């Protein structure tokens, strides 16, 4: 069943939102330069979008000290892969479809930076050595070939007021991971113990690298 008022082609869409200005289209480049590379060098956080082989899209966060996504040259990035939950959505998606989208955020800055391209999973020890953090070298990484690179205007962050500390939400105001797991498994799952043990691991920085 089609949604009420569904827009089904670009002509309908453009009739409502219009077309981008020439200067906006012109900002999309196929490589970095001395100015745009700074958005990657100063970013400690990136959202990574990939395509599921069975259909659908996945978006996953990555974070490390600023500049953790290394610029190898004007058209090549290396994103180190740190320990996670081993579901490995991003990586398994890339094995089937190399297309990738990256959205870089810098705390306190309204403009974000976007990169679209293709990625290969690599395990070259020499290449990955420079991504060492806390004496741990990642075992694999994503080598990204840039096809599009451009700044994203700050309207979304202005509207959301994302960086305003007065709007920060207390974690305790939301369900804990343990509570969510209990709701998805069974009522005997010890959510409180799960949270205590996870907090201890994070305090020891266990499993981060």
**pLDDT tens digit sequence for 108-134:** 999 999 999 999 999 999 999 999 999
What class has domain 13-160?
A: mainly beta
Q: What is the pLDDT of residue 106?
A: 98
Q: Is the alpha carbon torsion for 199, 200, 204, 209 positive or negative?
A: negative
Q: What pLDDT, on the 0 to 100 scale, is given for residue 105?
A: 98
Determine the average pLDDT of the residues in 172-193: 94
Burial of 60 (0-12, 13-18, 19+ CB in 10 A): middle
Q: What is the pLDDT of residue 186?
A: 83
Residues of 149-178 as b/e, b for ≥16 C-beta within 10 angstroms? bbebeeeebeeeeeeeeeeeeeeeeeeeeb
What's the pLDDT score for residue 14?
93
Q: Report domain extents, the chain.
A: 13-160, 169-203
Q: Give the predicted TM-score (pTM) of the model.
A: 0.94
Band of residue 6 on the pLDDT scale cut at 50, 70, 90: very high
Percent of the chain with pLDDT over 70: 99
């Amino acid at each position: 069943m089609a949604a009420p008022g569904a827009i089904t082609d670009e002509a309908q869409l453009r009739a409502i939102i219009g077309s981008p200005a020439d200067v906006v289209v012109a900002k999309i480049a196929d490589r970095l330069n001395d100015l745009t590379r700074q958005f990657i060098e100063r970013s400690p956080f990136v959202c990574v979008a990939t395509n599921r082989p069975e259909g659908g899209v996945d978006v996953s966060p990555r974070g490390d000290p600023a500049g953790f996504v290394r610029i190898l040259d004007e058209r090549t990035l290396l994103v180190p892969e740190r320990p996670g939950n081993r579901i490995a959505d991003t990586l398994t998606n890339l094995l089937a479809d190399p297309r990738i989208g990256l959205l870089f955020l810098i705390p306190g800055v309204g403009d974000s930076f976007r990169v679209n391209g293709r990625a290969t999973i690599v395990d070259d020890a020499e290449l990955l050595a420079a991504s060492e953090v806390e004496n741990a070298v990642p075992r694999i990484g994503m080598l990204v070939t840039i096809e599009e690179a451009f700044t994203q205007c700050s309207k979304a962050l202005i509207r959301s007021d994302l960086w305003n500390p007065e709007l920060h939400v207390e974690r305790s105001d939301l369900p804990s991971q343990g509570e969510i797991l209990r709701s998805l498994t069974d009522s005997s799952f010890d959510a409180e113990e799960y949270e205590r043990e996870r907090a201890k691991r994070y305090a020891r920085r266990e499993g981060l690298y």
